Chains A and B, each alone.
Chain A
């Protein structure tokens, strides 16, 4: 895609002045959260969210059309709430950033169209950014500049990826990703099996606290033999989900009660074991000393604990943003936008298209 002329490094301020602390408004609508965040450089000023998750509960998953309708209704109120929270006027904003992929096409389109409208109304540059790169960049709001390089483990209901990040404003290298279900998707499916409502992650986490992690030794996909040659940094959670289903059904068939907490703990242990084992392996293989964990599943308490344990043993530092910055939000998009402005990256054109399967190597579309 063509770009406007490359801006001088350091970006621009409201009056054309160079600044490395740009005021950036970020919009996120790739799934069911309408997020509008405002940052100044690496400082978080506002993180307004409107979620349609309650509307999806009875369907057992996110319904794209329901999410898209909710984004339209929430957009302007959420922008206004973010401005009020940040104590800024829209006219003060230096640049607009928006998730243009990957995600649900119809949902992305609402955010991108809103971002373009702001671009037109304010005459400010537009950055259509990668959702996954934004999940990485958000950590700068909490823990300061990203270590270069770092390995990022991004795990959510839609994604499970291991990334090598040298410079998040320039590009991200994909080490591996799931070949079937995302980790969060496996949590949702197993939660449903165990009788918990959508989204299932927090319920599994809670239930697992009183369960035995070693009660069932569920399979760890892609962690042995030939799989480790072909898919060393890839994930597979579909087989695990089926294994849990078969185990539970065998119990039910025998007329025995299902030990829900033990199954939840054993399932969660399998997922967290796979994720952390591969993430640490990636750091070691690449000689990287920093591991960043992001995405909704990063809110899982066992994943955090196991990652910190194993990283400490391996001499690797772990960074995990606080849970509300791990789940989808607008602040992460604004954070990446601010980094792009500060680094003088070229903005997107007004004919920016959404890309539901945007490659993680694309930071700005």
Chain B
């Protein structure tokens, strides 16, 4: 098998290939404004570094957010189109789950990423059977509301916690998802597989116009 995994729901553009035994190639760069430019070259890079042909890929796993919409869609449309063109299955993974999968303690934690507009995307986890299980979320909240929601001093992993370390208890560790971790978790069956559908959590920011204003 050869699993191609990537995630674009945070400032990180991360891609990895897993052959069923181990991660054979990975590439990550962090640039919140260039997902559309960086993802395809990152996929080409991991294929080349692994000495693999695109036709060797047997499945695709993609982070489905939540995350800023524009970058999130780059990953999703790439995954869906690649899967259709290569004739392989595509699986979605919650981006917050992928961040939690990078650590093994504490037993209870939350993950928060930057949702912009002074909000965070977050989910809460409990560890048992050697992996984290999402027990609340994903959701989008103001950091101070999240702090009230979480029991006192629950450690929070991720860039959202670092950004709002004044109100959240930032747990040192990975800030963004790593496709190598995501791929490993998928191969080990330690992460929930979802449809390759975006977790937007917010509606488009738009309102129906009111009656016509006079031009005079």
Contact = CB atoms under 8 A, between A and B. Distances in A.
Interface of A: 58-60, 63, 65-66, 68-69, 71-72, 75-76, 79-80, 90, 105-106, 109-110, 112-114, 116-123, 192-193, 242, 245-246, 249, 350-354
A115 B204 CA distance: 25
Nearest to B205: A65
Given A119-B40, A351-B37, 7 more contacts: A59-B208, A59-B209, A90-B85, A113-B40, A120-B44, A121-B54, A352-B37
Interface residues of B, number: 37
B205 A106 contact: no
A113 B70 CA distance: 11
Given A72-B73, A121-B54, A245-B215, A113 B205 contact: no
Contact of B41 (A66, A79, A114, A351): A351
A151 B132 CA distance: 63
The binding surface of chain A is classed by DSSP as: helix
A193 B73 contact: no
A112 B204 contact: no
B37 A353 contact: yes
A249 B38 CA distance: 52
A120 B36 contact: no
21 contacts: A58-B208, A63-B204, A69-B204, A71-B73, A76-B81, A76-B84, A79-B84, A106-B69, A110-B73, A114-B81, A116-B40, A117-B79, A117-B85, A118-B81, A118-B85, A120-B43, A120-B54, A121-B85, A242-B215, A351-B37, A353-B36
A120 B82 contact: yes
The binding surface of chain B is classed by DSSP as: helix
A59 B80 CA distance: 29
Interface string B48-80: 000000100000000000000110011011111
Contacts of A58: 208
B212 interface: yes
Contacts of B2: none
A123 B54 CA distance: 9
B39 interface: yes
Contacts of B76: 72
Interface string B192-216: 0000001010001111110010111
Contact of A117 (B37, B38, B40): B40
Contacts of A350: 40-41, 44
Nearest to B82: A117
Of B76, B81, B209, B214, the most chain A CB neighbours within 10 A belong to B81
